[in-house]
Amino acid sequence: MPTPDRNLRSVDLPADWAPDSWRARPALQMPTYPDAAALAGVQAELGALPPLVTSWEILALKQQLAEAQEGRRFLLQGGDCAESFSDCTSDVISNRLKVLLQMSLVLVHGLRLPVVRVGRFAGQYAKPRSADMETRGDVSLPSYRGDVVNGPEFTPEARVPDPRRMVKAHARSAMTMNFVRSLIDGGFADLHHPEYWDLRWVTHSPLADEYHRMVSGIGDAVRFMETLSGSQVHNLNRVDFYTSHEALLLPYEEAQTRQVPRQWGWFNLSTHFPWIGMRTAALEGAHTEYFRGIRNPIAVKVGPSVTPDQLLALIDVLNPDDEPGRLSLIHRMGAAQVAEKLPPLLEAVKRDGRRVLWICDPMHGNTESTSNGFKTRRFDKIRGEIEQSFDVHAAAGTRLGGVHLELTGEEVTECTGGARDLTDVDLERAYRSTVDPRLNYEQALETAMLIVRKQSQLGSAVRV
């Protein structure tokens, strides 16, 4: 439950805002539903269903993000590019959780900071697309926009936006949340049993060995403490896990935007931590309008074309009261551009004294196509963007407080490079993503390790 002071009204309710005031603004990336009455019916149905998260969890996360802004925590946000209804299975969910838990342990141990764990899951079902229509041969159909909108199959039936899919997305999100919560409440994240997080198929990996050595060192330390104190060290058996998704499909988000007893203002109760994607972050756009009125902590993706003035104007609208924990900026410049494009933004925000949490997404600026026709990302570029981001922040006197990654616990080959040095040819072996290429287990663990290495080289850029 929230402490009473968390509920003090420290910021003003935005004037002229309502959960549907976004409708008066240009809404990019929205599907065209053929049946407006069916859409309205689904919105009413969703509005009456129980929420997926609670306001006190949302406010607890905001508090943790405020601490991350001050350098007292590090944020790990990760999961699929797009969840799919068919991947809502116990294996996919628990394997992804295992990878995130292992990464967070590496980060806690190496950075000596508590980690805020946020999944890109339990609602990551809507995708922005570069074109409204997809053409194959002489057939043009609406583009696939994620399972909450339409189906990926290239048939007219699958591609017609169907509002009933929102009800299914809500149910799958609830099942995912329920399973994650039950695993954690049941002791899955217990530090006394890190073997619970081992992935069955990972054998003989040099990184897994390094990871296990670290885990056994931690286990020894825990046992030592417990022997010394004669009792169990508390709070090692559970962790906080929060959810996030791109709040792209505004009719879905609007239907789950509510007021709750004993709280002021409005909450999006479909997720703890929604973000605005790069393509929908226009100042005058519908997404910015929607986001300014909810009390959740929020994030915005910031790409290489954003200017310092645009960013400051967006911050004015989204966090006019400079509320701690409210706003995170996820930069995704690409390894080739980060050194040039990021410094002016950091300097402008710093000069204006704005309170934000800076997060690096090293995935979305580094997507390319291979000669054998796969969308991939090279691990060297992902590493390069992370390392350069740490350097750029250190030079600007700002703090990189988290990473945002696309990863999976499944045994896939979608990104090249990494410890096993996957090549373009390996992509043919186990490429499963319907949208963007994800880090597999080893590449994800390696990413956590490289963050620790980079941070320790830099010394105190993330201070305790």
Residues that bind ligand PEP (CB under 6 A): 81, 128, 246, 277-279, 301, 332, 364, 436
- Binding of residue 436 to Co ion (CB under 5 A): yes
Q: Which does 383 bind (CB under 5 to 8 A by kind): ligand PEP, Co ion, none?
A: none
Q: Which does 278 bind (CB under 5 to 8 A by kind): ligand PEP, Co ion, none?
A: ligand PEP
- Binding of residue 442 to Co ion (CB under 5 A): no
Interface pick for Co ion out of 81, 166, 202, 452 (rule CB under 5 A)? 81
Nearest distance in Å: CB 91, Co ion? 22
Positions of E strands within 127-179: 133-136, 139-142
Q: Interaction with Co ion in 25-64: which residues (CB under 5 A)?
A: none
Shorter beta-carbon distance to ligand PEP: residue 100 or 113: 100
Contact present, 124 and 271 (Cβ < 8 Å): no
Q: Which does 295 bind (CB under 5 to 8 A by kind): Co ion, ligand PEP, none?
A: none
Shorter beta-carbon distance to ligand PEP: residue 191 or 248: 248
Q: Which does 265 bind (CB under 5 to 8 A by kind): ligand PEP, Co ion, none?
A: none
What's the CA gap between 178 and 381, in Å, rounded? 36
Nearest distance in Å: CB 150, ligand PEP? 17
Nearest distance in Å: CB 124, ligand PEP? 8
What residue number has its CB nearest to ligand PEP? Answer: 277
| Part of the chain binding Co ion (CB under 5 A), chosen from 337-345, 348-356, 431-439, 440-448 | 431-439
Nearest distance in Å: CB 277, Co ion? 9
The partner residues of 116 in beta bridges, in order of sequence, read: 75
- Binding of residue 214 to Co ion (CB under 5 A): no
The tally of CA atoms less than 13 A away on the side-chain side of residue 74 is 27
Shorter beta-carbon distance to ligand PEP: residue 440 or 455: 440
Shorter beta-carbon distance to ligand PEP: residue 202 or 298: 298
Shorter beta-carbon distance to ligand PEP: residue 74 or 125: 125
Q: What secondary structure letter does DSSP report for 404?
A: E
Shorter beta-carbon distance to ligand PEP: residue 81 or 183: 81
Cβ atoms within 10 A of the Cβ of 261, count? 5
Shorter beta-carbon distance to ligand PEP: residue 207 or 403: 403
Q: Of 227, 324, 394, 406, nearest to 5 (Cα)?
A: 324
What's the CA gap between 245 and 180, in Å, rounded? 16
What is each CA distance from 421 to 248, 362, 458, in whole angstroms?
Answer: 35, 18, 27
Shorter beta-carbon distance to Co ion: residue 414 or 446: 414
Q: Of 138, 140, 143, 124, nearest to 32 (Cα)?
A: 143
Nearest distance in Å: CB 103, ligand PEP? 18
Q: Of 312, 310, 450, 437, nearest to 388 (Cα)?
A: 450
Calculate the dihedral angle through the C-alpha atoms of 417, 420, 422, 425, rounding to the nearest 10 degrees.
Answer: 160
What's the CA gap between 126 and 251, in Å, rounded? 12
Which helix (H) or strand (E) covers residue 299, if one does?
strand 298-302
Contact present, 453 and 414 (Cβ < 8 Å): no
Contact positions vs Co ion (CB under 5 A): 81, 436
